[in-house]
Structure 1
Amino acid sequence: METMHELIPFAKEMLSQKPNRKMVKLYMLGSVLAFFGVVIGLVEAVCSPFSSQASLEDEEDKNKPAAAREQQQQLQKREDLAQAKGKAQAALQRALVTRQHAS
């Protein structure tokens, strides 16, 4: 409510000074954009689901058998290891190229 109490005297002062059309258009555009921002925020807050993606994954994991979970974890570890090796090779190759250019 503080901003509303500040906005009303500001609007009265602005109208008493008789601003030019460009300034009025600019303030109106800003007000409309702010209003749409508030409306979009409210719609997003109301329409967003209250459950997060992590809780859905937890429910799926509970339904999977233990062997399938273990296999998925091993597959993930292999992928992570392959990515780490790829990064290390790229760094080594970059270092070799830098050395060749430096000599």
Structure 2
Amino acid sequence: MNYGTCCVLWCRNTRRNSSCKFYLFPTSKLNLQLRKMWIAAVNRKNDDGSPWSPKPYDRICSNHFIGGKKSDDMASLSYVPSIFPSSNHFYQLIRLFKKK
């Protein structure tokens, strides 16, 4: 359990190595629909292939929001995180690690 890292796969931002803000997922009690949208955007699965659900301490960094910060305005492009490492980025990282 790490309170200072971004939960997006392949994102290496932490509170120690970046100036990003870190946002908790919307709570299910207050805004279930927005929470579901964020979870869908992050697009993670558990190791066994089951749907991933964020823990209470999971955070997403500001680099995944257009403009560098989340918005509470439903009309804003920053209402839901939308900037993520591409699959090309993933394969570049794999090649880099294989060369070492």
Provide TM-score, normalisation by structure 2: 0.26
More helix by percentage: 1
Which is bigger in relative contact order (C-alpha 8 A, separation at least 6)?
2
Compare CA radii of gyration and give the structure with the larger one: 1
